[in-house]
Every structure is written in structure tokens, then in C-alpha cells.
């Protein structure tokens, strides 16, 4: 009997722990709610200024760190570091976009609340859509990227792999369908010479590649004698461009994979360090002050994981292409060198690599690549006249997306990612970023879990009554 009483009391203590103190629960009614139109304008101006300053600080801080890395690598003069970061037009555009978004959302949302005497999802939808017009402060190419990012706030490892397949197909076969800066980034990251990519493109498309053309393309890459000899004997109808043209400075494919991993990891470690540490210092200052050791160790670990992810991604792709060439030499594949193999290789290298990253960042990476894949596919479809262009479509897309997102954030208090929650807390000056549902809230909102919990509780109460009657 004592054991039953002990179990019952333990269950009650568990329930009490799961229940959050009502005073600690997040209540939308606690948000600042201007009661007059004058207060609405004052509140909106204050929020817009806050958003502008914080967004400018983040963008200028990131620019400063990235430029400092270039100075350390002796690729830029240190005398222009403040001009390139603090006086950057991109930083002001970024800040203006966030500041105007905060101003528009606060003014329209609170204005509608006063005018309609209601505070519902419709207010969030309209105010979010109007605030989405703040994207006009950005450049057209950036507007497209931001609009795509806002419209597709879901993704996982499989989505990342599928989008990478499209992007890497475009990287090798249709580079004209990728944004020039993104393609340049891919070439520098993959460390496969652009000349070698063009040779492979010509070969796959059926154009003959002469030995003279191949040698001239890679001569400045310090090719080994073996590479020069192999390319001098290259037949005009070669099934594929050999590995000697893809990494002419090293003859061994295995050593190339090791070299690729080390170089990519070392190259991107400072960049990932900036992307992880700057938001921590600017957006998570309270957590940093409370537990600096834990925050610094977690951020360092996240930086190392991000660097390892990208290095593994690049290495696996290079290694697959090399193994394809080795199989062609054995005759097992015949002359198979389809253009779609390069997209398929992108799928199989990205899917395992993404699991190195932290689970919370996988969807963010998928969302980063997805717009590039969509843009590439769109460009290919447009070149075949399958679709047509719509002017200012990115503005319409951004406004629609922000209306949906702000409806969810404003009424459901749910944000797709940690970054959006923190931006909501900092830029919009609300408690959105600090709202975390505990297990009890989750059980209450899930009908099946709630029913199970209720039956369990009733059964436990019944056993307690039986014990008392004994």
C-alpha cells in the first residue's frame, strides 16, 4: 500500500512540474498595446528605430569580421575596413528593410486593432503583407532571395539533398542559371578549376575536346608530368574528361580528397565562426552573461560542425566524380557519362553530409539552397518557354509570405526557427522570441496525448481512492 501511495504522489509531482506557473506563461495580452492612434505612431516609430539599429549592427558587424578575415589573408587593405563595414550601403539597406518592416507591422497591426475593435489573425495577415513591402529597400537580386526564403519555411535533409541535386547539375551543366555570385562561391568552395568544369561541360554536351585545348586550359594549374602526358593522349571522342584535368596538381584521387577536405575546412572555419559568434554576441547577450562558458563552448562546437559539414560535402562530391572516372577505365560503365549523373552525385553527397550539421540548422541550410535550385529550374524552364515572367513577382511573394508568417507568429506564437524567434524578440520588441512551449502545453494542445493523459490521471486517482478505502 505504501508503494502505491508513493507512485501516486510521484505522479502528482510530475504533473505539477509539467504545469507551468500561470504567472510564467506567455500571454499575448502582455504585449504593448497602444490605446490611441497617437500611441500607435509613437510605438511604431520606436520599434522601427530599434529594428534599424539592431539590423545595422548585425550586418555591419558581420561585414567587419569578414573584411577583417580578408585583411588577415592580405587580400584587402586595413585602412578601408570601416568604410567597407560601417559605411556599407548593403548594411544601410538591410537596416532600412528591418526598421521599416517593424514600423509598418506595428503601425498597421495596432491601427487595425483599434479600428476593428478586434485582435485576430486577419490583423496579422494584413499587417504582415503590408510590412513585407519593406523588401523594396533591398536590391532586386536580394529581394528575390529573401522572398524565396520567406515563402518556403520548411525543409529537412531530404529536401536539402534534392535541391543540391538541382544546384550541382546547374553548377556543372547550366552555370548560366545560377546567380553569378553564387556560382563564383561554388567554384571557389569546390576548388575544382573553372577551366576543368568548362572542359567537362563541352565533353558531356558532345563537343570534341582536343589535347591541345585541354593542356592549355590546365597549364597554369601546375600540372604534374603524368597529367600532361595523359591529356596529350586524350582522344577526341573520350567518354569523359579524366581526373588529370580535374585535379592536375595531384595524381592520386585519394590524396585529392584529403587535400580538399583540409583546405575547405580551414578556409571556411573563420567564416562560420563569424556567422555563429556574431549573432550570439548581439542577439543572445542575456544568455551569454548568465552562462558564458556553456554558450562559448556550444558556439565553438557549432562552428566546427559547420566547417566539417561543408568540407565533407565538397570532398564527397569530388570523390564520387573521381570514382566515376575510375569505373569508366575498367569498362564496367561502358561510355556512360550522362549529364544527370552530376546532379545524382550531388544528391548522394549532400544527404549524408547534412547529418554532420546540428539538427536545428539542417532546415536552414535546405532553405538556403532551395531558392537557388528553384531559380535554376525556373531559368531552365523559361529558356524552354514553358513559363513566363511576372514583373515584381518577388515583392508579391514576400508580402504574401510575411502575411502568413506574421499571422502565425502573432496569433500562434510559433516561429519556424530560433533565428526568427530572436529577430521577433529583438526587432519587433515583443516576447515572441522568448516564448517556449513546455511539455504540458504540448500535451494539452494534442487531443490524443491529452486524452491519454486524462485517462492515466483518472486511473491513478481511482487507485488512490482504492488505497484510501483499504
Question: Which residue has better confidence, 332 or 345?
Answer: 345
Pure H helices in 73-139: 81-85, 89-116, 121-131
Sign of CA dihedral 391, 397, 402, 403: positive
Question: Which residue has better confidence, 397 or 413?
Answer: 397
pLDDT by residue (tens digit) across 199-226?
Answer: 999 999 889 889 999 999 999 989 999 9
Q: How much of the chain, in percent, has pLDDT values that exceed 70?
A: 76
pLDDT band of 99, cuts 50, 70, 90:
very high
Q: Whole-prediction pTM value?
A: 0.57
Q: Is 178 helix (H, G, I), strand (E, B) or coil?
A: coil
Residues with Cβ within 8 Å of residue 255, at least 6 apart in sequence: none
> How far is residue 70's CA from residue 68's CA, in Å, rounded to a whole number?
5
pLDDT by residue (tens digit) across 228-241?
Answer: 999 999 998 889 99
Q: Residue 324 pLDDT more than 90?
A: yes
353-366 average pLDDT score: 86
pLDDT by residue (tens digit) across 378-404?
Answer: 888 888 777 777 777 777 777 877 777
pLDDT band of 442, cuts 50, 70, 90:
very low
Residues with Cβ within 8 Å of residue 25, at least 6 apart in sequence: none
| Rg of the chain in Å (alpha carbons) | 28
End-to-end CA distance of the chain: 9
Mean pLDDT of the residues in the chain: 80
Q: What residue ranges do the domains of the chain occupy?
A: 25-153, 159-385
Pick from 33-47, 82-96, 415-429: least confident = 415-429
Instruction: Identify the CA nearest to 97 among candidates 56, 128, 68, 62.
Output: 56
Instruction: Identify the CA nearest to 275 among candidates 305, 313, 236.
Output: 305
> How far is residue 314's CA from residue 79's CA, in Å, rounded to a whole number?
34
13-28 average pLDDT score: 50
> Longest Cα pair distance anywhere in the chain, in angstroms?
99
pLDDT band of 419, cuts 50, 70, 90:
low
Sign of CA dihedral 109, 406, 441, 426: negative
Question: Which residue has better confidence, 338 or 418?
Answer: 338
Q: 430: which DSSP letter? A: S
Q: Residue 253 pLDDT more than 90?
A: yes
Q: Residue 427 pLDDT more than 50?
A: yes
148-171 average pLDDT score: 78
Pick from 16-20, 172-176, 182-186, 249-253: least confident = 16-20
Amino acid at each position: 500500500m505504501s508503494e502505491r501511495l508513493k507512485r501516486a504522489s510521484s505522479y502528482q509531482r510530475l504533473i505539477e512540474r509539467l504545469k507551468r506557473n500561470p504567472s510564467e506563461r506567455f500571454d499575448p495580452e502582455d504585449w504593448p498595446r497602444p490605446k490611441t492612434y497617437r500611441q500607435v505612431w509613437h510605438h511604431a516609430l520606436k520599434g522601427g528605430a530599434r529594428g534599424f539599429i539592431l539590423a545595422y549592427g548585425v550586418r555591419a558587424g558581420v561585414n567587419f569580421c569578414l573584411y577583417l578575415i580578408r585583411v588577415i589573408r592580405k587580400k584587402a587593405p586595413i585602412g578601408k575596413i570601416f568604410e567597407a563595414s560601417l559605411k556599407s550601403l548593403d548594411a544601410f539597406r538591410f537596416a532600412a528593410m528591418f526598421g521599416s518592416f517593424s514600423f509598418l507591422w506595428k503601425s498597421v497591426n495596432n491601427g487595425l486593432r483599434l479600428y476593428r475593435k478586434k485582435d485576430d489573425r486577419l490583423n496579422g495577415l494584413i499587417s504582415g503583407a503590408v510590412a513585407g513591402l519593406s523588401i523594396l529597400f533591398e536590391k532586386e537580386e536580394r529581394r528575390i532571395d529573401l522572398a524565396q526564403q520567406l515563402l518556403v519555411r520548411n525543409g529537412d535533409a531530404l529536401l536539402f539533398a534534392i535541391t543540391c541535386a538541382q544546384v550541382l547539375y546547374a553548377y556543372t551543366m547550366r552555370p548560366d542559371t545560377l546567380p553569378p555570385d553564387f556560382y563564383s562561391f561554388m567554384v571557389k568552395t569546390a576548388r575544382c578549376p573553372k577551366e576543368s568544369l568548362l572542359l567537362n561541360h563541352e565533353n558531356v554536351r558532345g563537343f570534341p575536346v582536343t589535347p591541345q585545348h585541354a593542356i592549355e586550359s590546365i597549364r597554369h594549374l601546375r600540372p604534374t608530368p603524368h597529367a600532361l602526358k595523359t591529356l596529350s593522349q586524350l582522344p577526341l571522342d573520350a567518354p569523359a574528361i579524366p581526373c588529370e584535368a580535374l585535379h592536375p596538381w595531384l595524381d592520386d584521387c585519394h590524396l585529392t580528397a584529403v587535400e580538399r577536405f583540409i583546405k575547405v575546412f580551414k578556409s571556411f572555419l573563420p567564416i562560420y565562426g563569424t556567422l555563429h559568434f556574431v549573432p550570439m554576441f548581439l542577439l543572445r547577450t542575456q544568455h551569454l552573461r548568465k552562462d558564458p562558458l556553456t554558450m562559448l563552448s556550444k558556439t565553438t562546437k557549432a562552428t566546427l560542425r559547420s566547417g566539417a559539414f561543408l568540407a565533407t560535402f565538397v570532398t564527397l562530391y569530388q570523390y564520387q566524380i573521381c570514382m566515376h572516372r575510375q569505373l569508366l577505365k575498367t569498362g564496367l560503365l561502358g561510355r556512360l557519362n550522362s549529364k544527370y549523373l552530376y546532379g545524382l552525385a550531388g544528391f548522394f553527397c549532400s544527404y549524408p553530409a547534412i547529418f554532420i550539421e546540428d539538427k536545428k540548422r539542417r532546415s536552414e541550410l535546405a532553405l538556403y539552397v532551395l531558392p537557388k535550385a528553384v531559380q535554376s529550374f525556373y531559368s531552365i524552364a523559361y529558356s524552354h518557354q514553358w513559363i513566363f515572367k511576372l514583373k515584381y513577382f518577388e515583392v508579391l511573394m514576400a508580402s504574401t509570405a510575411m502575411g502568413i508568417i506574421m499571422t502565425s507568429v502573432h496569433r500562434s506564437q510559433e516561429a519556424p526557427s530560433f533565428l526568427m524567434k530572436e529577430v521577433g524578440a529583438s526587432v519587433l520588441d515583443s516576447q515572441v522570441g522568448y516564448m517556449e512551449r513546455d511539455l504540458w502545453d504540448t500535451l494539452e494542445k494534442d487531443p490524443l496525448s491529452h486524452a491519454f493523459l486524462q485517462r492515466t490521471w483518472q486511473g491513478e486517482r481511482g487507485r488512490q481512492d482504492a488505497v484510501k478505502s483499504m
